[in-house]
Structure 1
């Protein structure tokens, strides 16, 4: 054959759909494996064990041994197969050396001789499907898909390496001869006559536990409809692929037709059925690599396809050129492992970048705004729950806390109200009302003002101290004050005291409460309606901190100006303690003008900083590490949501959540 460009394909003079056109990759012309049964070649469509059979000739390919010919000798070495857009392609030379006849080889058309018959099934024999299984993960029995993944009560130990992703295993099933479409340009070639004997489908029994066998009778001949009954379309081929993403199984069933096929869908407890009125097909049953059962049935008015998924979540859509009905089924096979992020289906305005063990989620600042979101005082929540609570799209846990009490140990500010005081030595990230991120070392304090002048609050906590002026943001549950203490209460932004009194008191949620010993602070107001102002003084040299409304203290600061600036001594970190151990790490930063959530699968803070700077992050700060490290994104496979962490993490009191700006406007 002469050299050829990628070109349309005909079989016996009849033009084929454009999806069968040849492809040129690296100067080699290739054809899709799934289309070869149309020219009489039986196939095993498996990149790890590809097989092509025509009569007594067989070609086999594996990445280890390369091409091997059985029953004949190769006239010349064959180029490697290729994978393009999920389809396995083989060189045209493999098809011709196998013995497929070629009627025309022109720059504008490749015309194969029509086969005397089309194989009724692919390799191996009918009733079995060969696929590439996950190396260490056998196909599990599928549970029903939970609406929301639930973290286990006791998270498993952190994994140092994420599980591998199994490549798709694809099987092509050829139901039988299709009605010949009208040729675009008739060629002076007489197609081989169709067989006159009825086609018999031997249907193997199905014994999948818990899944009833389709009501098909083995050995019943399938008689084509009379010529007076014109079929709307024929089911030409069925292709099945399966991929595992951690423990999320994604299965695609593609039904390809000779023409547009009308259909209706019935959904049941264990799968879906498609009714195809006026569509011809050859009946058969297949046990799929996933453990699902696929049955093609003939009906008095056409045909039907039933897919039993045992609880998987299926979506159905169509594609054109050629006309295809696609059934995508997502099954969450093991909820003890968090589902992963789906890089191919990110929310609009979100980007995902991976550089080795470093993962980055970027957010368009025109669409999303970062906020600090907290669980109720003294409680903890999953990051996904905190994201959903405010209508967010993604979130990352932030700030160190005492696991016994779930109380933060460093700065937390929400909406201009400081709910937890700062250690005043470690890095912090703040967000302005407009969503601008600010990084630095603030030392925020409440400052009270009135006729007495100004006085700085010493600490943010519920426990009083006779020598200190303390502040607390009420949660409706926690008591402040005592027999010898005065507590002033007022709403954020108010200019007068709402309530004042001596003794223990439980401030309402969101109320500012200031407690003091009147002997130590006689100048402060003692009664309701007395004038009093409250200011949050950030005590930072950076001007943007004056407009910060949300903030979290954590540290260390990892990157500034695109360079590593890690300084554990400045921030008071004990590098010999567990807080500095190599483990999974999470952080927040800026890259290319966008805020980013950063996740390192495993490493030290130094490794985290180096990876961030190497990825082009301009500024970044660690938020937490170890068993609390969580990065969550909505969407995912089958709407399960996705996590960058490969093991469940503990619940946390605070998170940074990215909220759509139209949602944030209602805050």
Structure 2
């Protein structure tokens, strides 16, 4: 079930569900960082419990299905299916024994909960407990993918595609009347261009059902249930029909292409259909503030929207499309399995090549104009802002020499560096190209003429007559390093960097100086438009999106919101900020207008924490 559906459901059925044990719930922290209130534990009949959808932030991979629940932590797994043990139901374990008396999962307000005892059995580490806080160890990896169906259940009971069976309810009391579908509740929410609809079928007793899907919608067949015939057009425009028959009730819901999830709730018995529909593909779907990845914080101040990232959980990285290509922001984020991203620096629309500094993983792929503001990141997660002027410097027994330029274009009078992509041809007749592997101190290969360096290889092309001191054989000593030549900050440990500008905020104060960065304030680049920036807020790297305004208005809004440092990225038609997940897993955007494809972006990638950092 989508988090958007859960949020909507809390409103729709507030009259039929009470809050369970809210006074005794505990705040959940991960690595000492308190999570959102929606993640709080709940005291249930089987003991203190956590919602299954929150468990990936503890490092647990899940299949959040009440008919086939899976919890995987390392090599240890717990599985649960309703029904008696003789029918393959109850708890099952892989790599451990099922703890005696382990409570069954429970559904509360549309969320499936499992007991803390199940997590302890899996080996999930609790760092500390107080009456108000339950603190778990930060995971090495935050799982993103949903687990497939349990292999044992799939082998035991294969089902046809498009048809989802549910377990039969408990045997009715002899002579008891059949279950009655007494009430249909419908709720609908609009989030920009995304509609979230919930249909709740209230039953007098549990009933088995099957779901059949097609392009127009879905049908839910409730066995042994009686109801009054109904045909109703919902506020969304969908049509709901109830048709009683000899074997039960058939409910038909046309969804107009929406994505639907079906699940059950107890006490009272209900079948719930959540449908998420993107009503207008011309409008980017919004983020779901209630279902952001763990460690991501959203703030809104009018036109200003801010997404901050816990540096202990995420590493900002500069990610580029293949040379000469531009990609959509989701593609750039997905290429490194990131959770969010913002478009990068300025580029030439005709060639899709960046026009200013790009450094990724310690390799400079585009040289600096040496005048524009730059944002950079260290491997430890620190964010740097300033005006570095990096160059490659080659050193060996001969001394040192500075590389003139970076790029695929070969000029005989210059010493040129290029980071290979496995496709681009460089070099020329009479010129020598040396290959260096990142971090190596010797020449990997020395070639003459036109060559195609492999991806990630640093290639240095030169005329031997102009640079006789440089080696021309494989195995010769040669080191390449970035000399950042910065006066405003210590950039020596930077691994990634991107120049754009202008510098908007520094030290919490507006810092605009277009003359210093040689921006023409009468040109279109300075017009009022949608704007994006990358900076820091409360010590966390932060994406900022401004709906409409000038750089001056953007800078003022950032400073007023508490942003300490910020550099504007390419704005206007390129401006975009994207987060994975969202309503119906459509992805979420801060921008309300689609951004064009771009050659690079700053992407936030889940980091692998050192083992030592997880010790209590």
Q: Shared topology, TM-score over 0.5?
A: yes
Please state whether the residue corresponding to 2:15 is helix, strand or coil. helix
Matched residues in 2 for 1:664 and 1:600: separation? 36
For residues 621-636 of structure 1, what are the structure 2 equivalents within 5 Å? Answer: 621-636=567-582
For residues 409-558 of structure 1, what are the structure 2 equivalents within 5 Å? Answer: 409-541=355-487, 544-558=490-504
Gapped regions of structure 1 (runs ≥ 5)? 1-16, 24-226
Question: Is 2:560 the counterpart of 1:560?
Answer: no
**Alpha-carbon spacing, 1:327–1:629, altered in 2? closer, same or farther (3 Å):** same
Matched residues in 2 for 1:499 and 1:592: separation? 47
Of 580, 589, 598 in structure 1, the residue corresponding to residue 526 of structure 2 is 580
Q: Which residue of 2 aligns with 1:350?
A: 296
Matched residues in 1 for 2:205 and 2:537: separation? 49
Contact 1:369 1:664 in 2 (8 A): no
Q: Which whole-Å deviations, capped at 9, do the CAs of 1:279-315 have from their partners, x for residues lacking one?
A: 3321111122222111122222433322122322101
For residues 329-348 of structure 1, what are the structure 2 equivalents within 5 Å? Answer: 329-348=275-294
Matched residues in 2 for 1:568 and 1:376: separation? 31
Shift, 1:410, TM fit: 0.8
Matched residues in 1 for 2:383 and 2:543: separation? 12
**Alpha-carbon spacing, 1:477–1:263, altered in 2? closer, same or farther (3 Å):** closer
Question: Is 2:245 the counterpart of 1:249?
Answer: no
Please state whether the residue corresponding to 1:599 is helix, strand or coil. strand
Matched residues in 2 for 1:397 and 1:504: separation? 33
Please state whether the residue corresponding to 1:638 is helix, strand or coil. helix
Shift, 1:253, TM fit: 1.1
Shift, 1:549, TM fit: 0.8
Which has the greater radius of gyration? 1
Question: Is 2:599 the counterpart of 1:650?
Answer: no
Of 354, 358, 379 in structure 2, the residue corresponding to residue 408 of structure 1 is 354
Contact 1:387 1:657 in 2 (8 A): yes
Matched residues in 1 for 2:213 and 2:412: separation? 69
Shift, 1:515, TM fit: 1.9
**Alpha-carbon spacing, 1:441–1:18, altered in 2? closer, same or farther (3 Å):** closer
After superposition, the CA RMSD in angstroms is 2.6
Gapped regions of structure 2 (runs ≥ 5)? 1-12, 20-172, 612-616
Q: Which residue of 2 aligns with 1:191?
A: none
Shift, 1:449, TM fit: 0.4
Shift, 1:383, TM fit: 0.7
Q: Which residue of 2 aligns with 1:46?
A: none
The aligned length equals 447
Q: Which residue of 1 aligns with 2:344?
A: 398
**Higher mean Cα deviation, 298-307 or 390-399?**
298-307
**Alpha-carbon spacing, 1:626–1:22, altered in 2? closer, same or farther (3 Å):** closer
Question: Is 2:15 the counterpart of 1:19?
Answer: yes
Question: Is 2:313 the counterpart of 1:367?
Answer: yes
Shift, 1:521, TM fit: 2.0
Shift, 1:248, TM fit: 2.2
Please state whether the residue corresponding to 2:351 is helix, strand or coil. coil
Give the TM-score normalised by the residue count of structure 2: 0.68
Matched residues in 1 for 2:378 and 2:277: separation? 41
Contact 1:479 1:506 in 2 (8 A): yes
**Alpha-carbon spacing, 1:533–1:241, altered in 2? closer, same or farther (3 Å):** same
Matched residues in 1 for 2:263 and 2:304: separation? 35
Q: Which residue of 2 aligns with 1:607?
A: 553
**Alpha-carbon spacing, 1:568–1:413, altered in 2? closer, same or farther (3 Å):** same
Matched residues in 1 for 2:414 and 2:18: separation? 81
Please state whether the residue corresponding to 2:291 is helix, strand or coil. coil
Please state whether the residue corresponding to 1:539 is helix, strand or coil. coil
Matched residues in 1 for 2:458 and 2:250: separation? 67
Q: Which residue of 2 aligns with 1:570?
A: 516
For residues 224-303 of structure 1, what are the structure 2 equivalents within 5 Å? Answer: 230-303=176-249
Shift, 1:447, TM fit: 0.4
Give the TM-score normalised by the residue count of structure 1: 0.63
Matched residues in 1 for 2:223 and 2:421: separation? 63
Contact 1:18 1:322 in 2 (8 A): no
Shift, 1:572, TM fit: 1.4
Q: Which residue of 1 aligns with 2:262?
A: 316
Contact 2:504 2:511 in 1 (8 A): yes
**Alpha-carbon spacing, 1:663–1:575, altered in 2? closer, same or farther (3 Å):** farther
Matched residues in 2 for 1:355 and 1:647: separation? 19
Q: Which whole-Å deviations, capped at 9, do the CAs of 1:358-415 have from their partners, x for residues lacking one?
A: 1111222222211111101111111100111111111111111111111111111111
Please state whether the residue corresponding to 1:425 is helix, strand or coil. coil
Contact 2:387 2:488 in 1 (8 A): no
Shift, 1:540, TM fit: 1.8
Q: Which residue of 2 aligns with 1:177?
A: none
Q: Which whole-Å deviations, capped at 9, do the CAs of 1:243-285 have from their partners, x for residues lacking one?
A: 3333322221122334444433333332222232343321111
**Alpha-carbon spacing, 1:591–1:453, altered in 2? closer, same or farther (3 Å):** same
Q: Which residue of 2 aligns with 1:181?
A: none
Q: Which residue of 1 aligns with 2:121?
A: none
Contact 2:384 2:489 in 1 (8 A): no
Matched residues in 2 for 1:346 and 1:450: separation? 49
Please state whether the residue corresponding to 1:540 is helix, strand or coil. coil
Q: Which whole-Å deviations, capped at 9, do the CAs of 1:95-144 have from their partners, x for residues lacking one?
A: xxxxxxxxxxxxxxxxxxxxxxxxxxxxxxxxxxxxxxxxxxxxxxxxxx
Contact 2:312 2:381 in 1 (8 A): no
Shift, 1:450, TM fit: 0.7
